[in-house]
Chains A and B, each alone.
Chain A
Amino acid sequence: MDQEESSQLRLEVVAPAGRVFEGGVQMAVLPAVTGELGILPRHAPLVAQLSIGRLRALTVDGDWLTFAVAEGFAKVQFNKIIVLADAAEEASQIDVARVHKSIEQAKQRLEMHRSGAVPEGEDVDPYREQLALRRAYNRLKVAERPDK
């Protein structure tokens, strides 16, 4: 596979808060619900549902980039991968201290909900807290072991 052709594959990672990554890659590994999906240049058109997990991409410079992504979708067409994720963060950008804080907070609120000790005037949506917790754990995993 020559450099020229491989560099034609483009990856775009888009989250609701904005575009997280856009650039040429040699290869990308997507966390599809059916298992990891490796995409090389000239892949057949594909639409995949993504689960929470880790997205990896080999840049044209030969570096591996790792992203923590939440649920979403990916489309491969015309040598372009568009990833639409509920949340996406590059491993080196993840603020571990903040992740720990959100885990702590989510746990605390779930516990309040479970024991029925929600303070007056407050409200807890357990679905929201579980979502936050799952994402935080994924971010932690990716931040600590981006290559594993």
Chain B
Amino acid sequence: MASQRDIRRRIASVHNTRKITKAMEMVAAARLRRAQQRIEATRPYALNMLEFIGQLVNYLQVDLSLHPLLKPHAHLKKVAVIALTADRGMCGAFNANIVRRALDRVNTYAAEGVESDLVVMGRKGVSTVRFQGYKIDRAYLDVTERTAFLEAQALTNGVIRRYANESIDRVHLVFNRFKSPMEQFVTDQVILPIQEEITGQYCPADAQEHMDFLFEPDPETILADLLPSYVEITIYRAILEGMASEHGARMTAMRAASEAADEMINDLTLAMNRVRQASITQEILEVVAGADALSG
């Protein structure tokens, strides 16, 4: 049986661990709140963007299905799978879930004879994917809230160019959608070809009557540039949602860890008291036995 001192040492060590997990939980909670606000802050831009596209499409009366980013490719030969993971761990199964979902997608395509390019964001995803023996086409590391839009643009640029010249035929985005801090919700979404529901529905009624716009330069050029922007904002939002989910997952994981530590401290304290009591009883027995021997 462990000695009193051993147990006391263990209690102290668990205490220290608990301090760390508690601190991490609180940091994650603060970051989560900021990340949620950041998601909220993208709304004006995203809504205006959709309205812009809707108005232009309405104005031009173009058949959007002819646009290279909206036109599905007839044959699937190669796809791109983008996985958005975190740079850090200690957040439960967050990264593992995303990686598994992305690799599932890759394997499903492989079974159909379709090749996949993997684009991975986040150190954790990159190292896991590499470890499992998959080749990464492009990695994005150390993404912060500040640079997230830049990364989203770079990512978009890469896939759009290859989609337009038909070297890839579909683009999947695998990320963790943010619903609530407790819920993990891995999503696999096709972002190219652009799904058609984006066009038309965000056109406000009054805009249609006043569509006598001047264009600098011509409307076709502007529309051609707006569609990539739509993909950018989609990816940007996905990155932010991923970050919020990461903090949520870490908060939950660290809370569980703190609770486990509490429980462990309780058990150890109990064990220690038992050992202490045993040694006291032992001592009393010895004293009594000694006294008996003398008087006997």
Contact = CB atoms under 8 A, between A and B. Distances in A.
Interface of A: 14-19, 32-34, 37, 44-49, 73, 75, 77-78, 82, 84, 86-87, 121-123, 125, 127-128, 131-132, 135
Contacts of B213: 45-47, 77
29 contacts: A14-B45, A16-B42, A16-B45, A17-B42, A18-B44, A19-B44, A34-B216, A44-B212, A45-B211, A46-B216, A47-B215, A47-B216, A47-B219, A49-B216, A73-B52, A73-B225, A73-B229, A75-B52, A77-B210, A82-B48, A84-B48, A84-B52, A84-B229, A86-B149, A86-B153, A86-B229, A123-B139, A125-B140, A135-B150
A78 B214 CA distance: 14
Contacts of B236: 16
Given A15-B45, A18-B44, A84-B49, A127 B149 contact: no
Q: Give the secondary structure class of B's interface.
A: helix
Given A17-B42, A123-B138, A127-B154, A46 B48 contact: no
Given A82-B48, A123-B141, 14 more contacts: A16-B149, A17-B38, A17-B41, A17-B42, A46-B215, A47-B216, A47-B219, A77-B213, A84-B48, A125-B154, A127-B154, A127-B158, A131-B150, A131-B153
A31 to B, nearest CB: 11
A125 B226 CA distance: 22
| B44, B52, B140, B232 interface centre (most CB from chain A within 10 Å) | B44
Contacts of B211: 45
A113 to B, nearest CB: 12
Contacts of B210: 45, 77-78
A15 B44 CA distance: 8
Contacts of B221: 49
Nearest to B42: A16
Contacts of B212: 44-45
A19 B42 CA distance: 8
B225 A18 contact: no
Contacts of B56: 47
A75 B221 CA distance: 15
Contacts of A132: 147, 150
Contact of A14 (B48, B151, B226): B48
B157 interface: yes
Contacts of B141: 122-123
A128 B216 contact: no
Contacts of B41: 17-19
Given A45-B213, A46-B213, A73-B226, A18 B42 contact: yes
Contacts of A131: 150, 153-154
Interface size class of B (residues with CB under 8 A): 35 or more
Given A49-B222, A123-B141, A125-B138, A17 B149 contact: yes
A48 B219 CA distance: 9
A46 B214 contact: yes
A110 B282 CA distance: 74
B265 interface: no
B36 to A, nearest CB: 13
Nearest to B233: A16
B293 to A, nearest CB: 73
A64 B107 CA distance: 57
